[in-house]
């Protein structure tokens, strides 16, 4: 792989990202532009943007690395990442859009009428976002180190600076254009080298055992539910991973905030259907890199598995062709880090802005101008915290770290959203208790796993994949505490449920006194 060619590819991605972001700056003026792109993003455009930010370092590099090392077991990552949107489509997408909220803490406060629940949600958004940003920064550092030999800090710093510039410049309106572009770039960067490899194999007079090698690799290591990675209780780990990925998606702050940008609930559902198609197409390719890696880069199985996508084109095609394909893959990888980091930064910045900065800045002045500038300050803070954490942490498995973020999301926001949307007897106390219990349990497991917890037996399995016990624990806590505190059910529950489940074409305020309709029209959380 030629460092110069790869740097040119990465440089072009950076220039395109900044250029598209500056275009978004021209049309981003109000608070609504920065938070939810004025709620005018069409389903197809929004689906491309959601797919762009969702396909992170774990998807672009980590899945291929895990399948390379552990075989067919790790295909559950691809399946779970995609099926999570089916759960979101069925249970959450349209009601969440009808809530009219800007952020997850907004939704929690309007549904449960509690500042305490809002503050807990704000802390969890920052925590999950930071945990999810870590592998993006590690992936960026790994990519730059692989193609140039530079220290990992360089790649992480480049991503951090570009993301802050883009998010601070145009907010959600700006990064919508950027992320939609980056999805198609990532898909091209993964798909084109695979097709070139297959065409070369087909055209060869003496096919160099590619097909035979693939079959041989499959016979050796593709054994479902095996213990090839040295972990105990693989059946439990597989089901726990699936639970985390399927139900954690609906609790990821950077995913949910994009559904607020749709014009209405119907558009939110259509967006989710398109996302399923786009993700399904993308996830066809990482396993193919893993299988090819078993043939052409077997040395990466022992160490450096996360680099197989970056190194494979150069190993199969020495010379100019390999350099060009390697540059394309490196550009796609960098786009993955930029798009996901941008979405996470917007989600974290929105919470920091509303819950920490805005009230203080409004003591001196007010208006959209101050709101926009406080958002920009929040964007800077949102990236500084994960970058400092990145400097303090060691080498992490990209997909494993993201899986822990999914487990925390599944154990906190999933019960809050599912029960909050579909169970009218959920109390404020129950919501707070579920967030605390699920958050503490899953976060503790994630922390122990990151710092190097148990290495064998049930302790290792329970800590390594905690969702199978932390998510049910959170659901049970919410239900039991809500049953014990019926007097803490919010007074406006009936009104909230009507708004969440009534299509926008229906006037939910019909029959209300004129003064009450007027008060609702002035609410910042009104959906229409």
pLDDT digits (tens, 9 = 90+) for 295-339: 788 888 877 788 889 888 888 888 888 889 988 998 998 888 888
Residue bearing the bigger pLDDT, 360 or 79: 79
Which of 499, 498, 486 shows the shortest CA–CA distance to 526?
499
Average pLDDT value for residue range 142-169 = 83
Average pLDDT value for residue range 137-156 = 84
Q: State the first-to-last Cα distance of the chain, in angstroms, to the nearest integer.
A: 52
Question: Which residues lie below 8 Å from residue 178, measured CB to CB, with a gap of 6+?
Answer: 17, 20, 21, 24, 52, 166, 338, 339, 342
> What are 295's two structure tokens?
């043939």
How confident is the model at residue 397, as a pLDDT? 60
Residue 57: alpha-carbon gap to chain centroid: 10
CA distances from 230 to 272, 287, 318, 461 (A): 37, 21, 34, 11
Q: Highest mean pLDDT range out of 19-28, 159-168, 263-272, 402-411?
A: 402-411
Contact 327, 5 (CB under 8 A): yes
Residue 131: alpha-carbon gap to chain centroid: 11
How confident is the model at residue 112, as a pLDDT? 93
- 367 phi/psi in degrees, rounded to 5: 95, 175
Relative orientation angle of helices 286-296 and 210-221, to the nearest 10 degrees: 100
Rounded distance between C-alpha atoms, residue 96 and residue 352, angstroms: 21
Average pLDDT value for residue range 194-222 = 61
> What are 361's two structure tokens?
């800045």
How confident is the model at residue 431, as a pLDDT? 96
Contact 375, 353 (CB under 8 A): yes
Rounded distance between C-alpha atoms, residue 66 and residue 61, angstroms: 9
- 456 phi/psi in degrees, rounded to 5: -160, 165
Rounded distance between C-alpha atoms, residue 239 and residue 131, angstroms: 22
Contact 380, 440 (CB under 8 A): no
Contact 141, 156 (CB under 8 A): yes
Contact 473, 73 (CB under 8 A): no
Give DSSP secondary structure letters for 312-352. HHHHHSTTHHHHHHHHHHHHHHHHHHHHHHHHHHHHHHHHH
Residue bearing the bigger pLDDT, 383 or 527: 383
Contact 346, 25 (CB under 8 A): no
Residue bearing the bigger pLDDT, 9 or 398: 9
Residue 305: alpha-carbon gap to chain centroid: 22
**SS3 label, residue 225:** coil
How confident is the model at residue 4, as a pLDDT? 82
Which of 349, 398, 414 shows the shortest CA–CA distance to 376?
349
pTM score, whole prediction: 0.80
Relative orientation angle of helices 467-484 and 398-422, to the nearest 10 degrees: 20
Q: What is the pLDDT of residues 88-133, one digit of tens each?
A: 888 888 888 788 777 788 889 989 999 999 999 999 998 898 888 8
Tell me the CB-side half-sphere exposure of residue 444, using CA atoms within 13 A. Answer: 9
Q: What is the pLDDT of residues 464-496, one digit of tens each?
A: 889 999 999 999 999 999 999 999 999 999 999
Which of 76, 326, 97 shows the shortest CA–CA distance to 192?
326
- 297 phi/psi in degrees, rounded to 5: -145, 55
Residue 159: alpha-carbon gap to chain centroid: 16
Residue 333: alpha-carbon gap to chain centroid: 15
* Total residue count of the chain as it appears in this document: 528
Does pLDDT of 373 surpass 80?
A: no
Taken in order of first residue, the domains within the chain and their CATH numbers are 3-521 (1.20.1730.10)
Relative orientation angle of helices 308-316 and 115-148, to the nearest 10 degrees: 20
């Amino acid at each position: 792989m030629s460092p110069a060619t790869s740097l040119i590819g990465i440089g072009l991605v950076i220039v395109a990202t900044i250029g598209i972001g500056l275009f978004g700056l021209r049309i981003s003026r109000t608070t609504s532009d920065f938070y939810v792109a004025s709620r005018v993003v069409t389903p197809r455009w929004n689906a491309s943007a959601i797919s762009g930010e969702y396909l992170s370092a774990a998807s672009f590099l980590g899945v291929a690395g895990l399948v390379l090392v552990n075989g067919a077991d790790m295909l559950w990552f691809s399946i779970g990442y995609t099926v999570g949107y089916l759960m979101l489509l069925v249970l959450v997408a349209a009601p969440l859009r009808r809530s009219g909220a800007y952020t997850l803490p907004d939704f929690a406060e309007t549904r449960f009428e509690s500042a305490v629940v809002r503050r807990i949600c704000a802390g969890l958004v920052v925590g999950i976002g930071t945990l999810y940003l870590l592998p993006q920064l590690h992936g960026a550092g790994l990519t730059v180190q692989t193609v140039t030999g530079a220290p990992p800090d360089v790649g992480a710093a480049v991503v951090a600076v570009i993301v802050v510039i883009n998010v601070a410049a145009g907010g959600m309106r700006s990064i919508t254009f950027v992320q939609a572009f980056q999805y198609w770039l990532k898909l091209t960067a993964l798909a084109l080298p695979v097709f070139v490899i297959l065409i070369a194999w087909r055209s060869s007079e003496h096919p160099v055992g590619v097909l035979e090698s693939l079959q041989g690799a499959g016979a050796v290591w593709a054994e479902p539910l095996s213990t090839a990675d040295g972990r105990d209780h693989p059946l439990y780990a597989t089901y726990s991973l699936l639970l985390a990925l399927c139900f954690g998606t609906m609790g990821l702050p950077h995913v949910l905030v994009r559904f607020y940008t749709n014009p209405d609930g119907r558009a939110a559902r259509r967006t989710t259907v398109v996302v399923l198609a786009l993700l399904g197409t993308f996830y066809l390719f990482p396993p193919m890199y893993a299988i090819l890696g078993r043939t052409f880069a077997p040395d990466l199985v022992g160490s450096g598995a996360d680099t197989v996508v970056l190194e494979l084109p150069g190993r199969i095609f020495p010379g100019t062709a390999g350099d060009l394909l390697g540059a394309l893959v490196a550009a796609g990888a960098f786009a993955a880090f930029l798009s996901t980091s941008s979405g996470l930064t917007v989600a974290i910045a929105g919470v920091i802005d509303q819950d920490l900065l805005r009230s203080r800045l409004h003591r001196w002045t007010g208006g959209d101008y101050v709101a926009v500038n406080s958002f920009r300050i929040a964007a800077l803070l949102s990236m500084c915290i994960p970058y400092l954490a990145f400097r303090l942490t060691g080498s992490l498995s990209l997909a494993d770290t993201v899986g822990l973020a999914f487990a925390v999301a599944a154990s906190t926001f999933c019960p809050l959203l599912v029960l909050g949307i579909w169970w009218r007897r959920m109390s404020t106390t129950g919501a707070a208790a579920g967030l605390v219990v699920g958050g503490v349990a899953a976060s503790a497991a994630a922390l122990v796993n990151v710092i190097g917890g148990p290495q064998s037996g049930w302790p290792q399995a329970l800590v390594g994949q905690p969702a199978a016990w932390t998510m049910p624990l959170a659901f049970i806590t919410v239900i039991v505490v809500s049953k014990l505190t019926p007097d803490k059910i919010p007074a406006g529950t009936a009104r909230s449920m009507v708004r969440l489940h009534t299509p926008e074409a229906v006037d939910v305020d019909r029959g209300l006194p004129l003064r009450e309709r007027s008060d609702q029209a002035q609410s910042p959380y009104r959906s229409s």
